[in-house]
Amino acid sequence: MILQLNMSSDTPIYMQLRNQIVMGIGSGELKTGEGLPSVRQLAVDIGINMMTVSKAYNILKNEGYIEIDRRHGAKVREDLDSNRKPTEKLEYGLSLLAAESKAKGMDKETFLKICEKTFNDINTQKLKEHRAC
């Protein structure tokens, strides 16, 4: 999986990493059970500090996306796709996006069409320049 970081972005590196990995999982590019590079390897590959990678991995672990084994490194959780409950984050994030869209006069059909199109085409590169949270 190709990771592209923007060092000039106002999104922190660890968050760019986190986002791109989430997108990779969502798009299917990263399969459940698939291993991620070691923190040292990834840090060297993209020219950043080991602890920055570790920070991204730990966020992903706490969010339930990956599991980390001291012996074998990090991998995408095997049971990841069995967790279908809508998260608070989804509800709250959607509330704000829906309010913004509605405020600007978008009708429901258009909004839902965009939601569907977005869900169908998860694009790993779409978040490069943008802040997630």
Partner DNA sequence: TATATGTATTATAATAAGTAATACAAAGTT
Partner DNA sequence: AACTTTGTATTACTTATTATAATACATATA
Smallest distance from DNA to CB 95, Å: 20
Contact status: 94 vs its own copies (CB under 8 A): yes
83 binds, among DNA, its own copies, none (CB under 5 to 8 A by kind): its own copies
Contact status: 22 vs DNA (CB under 7 A): no
| Alpha-carbon span 30 to 108, nearest angstrom | 33
Question: Looking at beta carbons only, is 57 or 124 nearer to DNA?
Answer: 57
Question: Looking at beta carbons only, is 41 or 118 nearer to its own copies?
Answer: 118
23 binds, among DNA, its own copies, none (CB under 5 to 8 A by kind): its own copies
| Alpha-carbon span 91 to 98, nearest angstrom | 10
One symbol per residue from 14 to 53: x for binding its own copies (CB under 8 A), - otherwise; what is it?
-----x--xx-xxx--------------------------
For 97, the token pair is 């996006």
Beta strands in 17-100 (DSSP E): 66-69, 73-76
Contact status: 131 vs its own copies (CB under 8 A): yes
User: In sequence order, what are the residues at sequence separation of 6 or more whose Cβ sits closer than 8 angstroms to the Cβ of residue 11?
Assistant: 19, 129, 130, 131, 132
109 binds, among DNA, its own copies, none (CB under 5 to 8 A by kind): none
Total H helices, total E strands in the chain: 5, 2
Q: Find the radius of gyration of the CA atoms of the chain.
A: 16
